[in-house]
């Protein structure tokens, strides 16, 4: 059962007004980042800073530790999936996306990432499926619509 405030945000992702959709998107990301409080969010930000500075081993070690200590912290798994994707470790990223989606089936970031990984592996049917799932949550996400078209073209 989805909490009423989450259900409202998910409905807002489908709103006609862009500002409403943007506010809902930001609220969901904020919720995911702060699921484990300020300390958990700070560690996620630190891992992102390390990643952006090219310190991927340190970022991965931090995320591994965070996941070990708080295995139900969905966004820690998602951030590690991003790191793995950037390292072209697509199967590792897919496994982490699957963990996120087991906890938060409507996590549009993990759904999008799952599609990107499958597309990178030329698993275009699976990529399309993931992008369609992401669109079911965020129907105005043009990037997923475009990626579905690109993957469909590669299948023909």
pLDDT in tens, 93-147: 999 999 999 999 999 999 999 999 999 999 999 999 999 999 999 999 999 999 9
Whole-number average pLDDT of the chain: 97
Strand, helix or coil at 86? Answer: helix
pTM of the model: 0.95
Domains present along the chain, CATH in parentheses: 36-104 (1.25.40.10)
Residue 34's SS3 state is coil
Q: Please tell me the predicted confidence (pLDDT) of residue 1.
A: 80
For residue 156, the model assigns a pLDDT of: 85
Q: Which residues of 36-48 are buried (b: 16+ CB within 10 A; e: fewer)?
A: beeebbebbeebb
Tell me 17's DSSP state: S
> For residue 69, is pLDDT > 90?
yes
CA-to-CA separations, 73 to 19, 44, 88, 95, in angstroms, rounded:
28, 11, 23, 15
Residue 17 pLDDT more than 90?
Answer: yes
């Amino acid at each position: 059962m989805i909490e009423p405030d989450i259900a409202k945000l998910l409905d807002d992702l489908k709103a006609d007004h862009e500002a409403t959709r943007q506010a809902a998107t930001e609220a969901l990301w904020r919720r995911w980042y702060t699921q484990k409080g300020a300390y958990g969010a700070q560690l996620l930000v630190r891992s992102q800073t390390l990643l952006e500075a090219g310190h991927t081993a340190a970022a991965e070690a931090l995320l591994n530790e965070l996941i070990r200590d708080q295995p139900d912290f969905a966004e820690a798994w998602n951030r590690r999936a991003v790191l793995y994707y950037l390292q072209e470790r697509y199967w590792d990223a897919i496994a982490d996306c699957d963990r996120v989606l087991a906890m938060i089936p409507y996590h549009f970031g993990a759904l999008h990432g799952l599609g990107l990984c499958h597309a990178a592996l030329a698993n275009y049917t699976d990529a399309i499926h993931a992008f369609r799932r992401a669109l079911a949550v965020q129907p105005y996400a043009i990037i997923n619509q475009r990626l579905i078209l690109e993957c469909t073209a590669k299948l023909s």
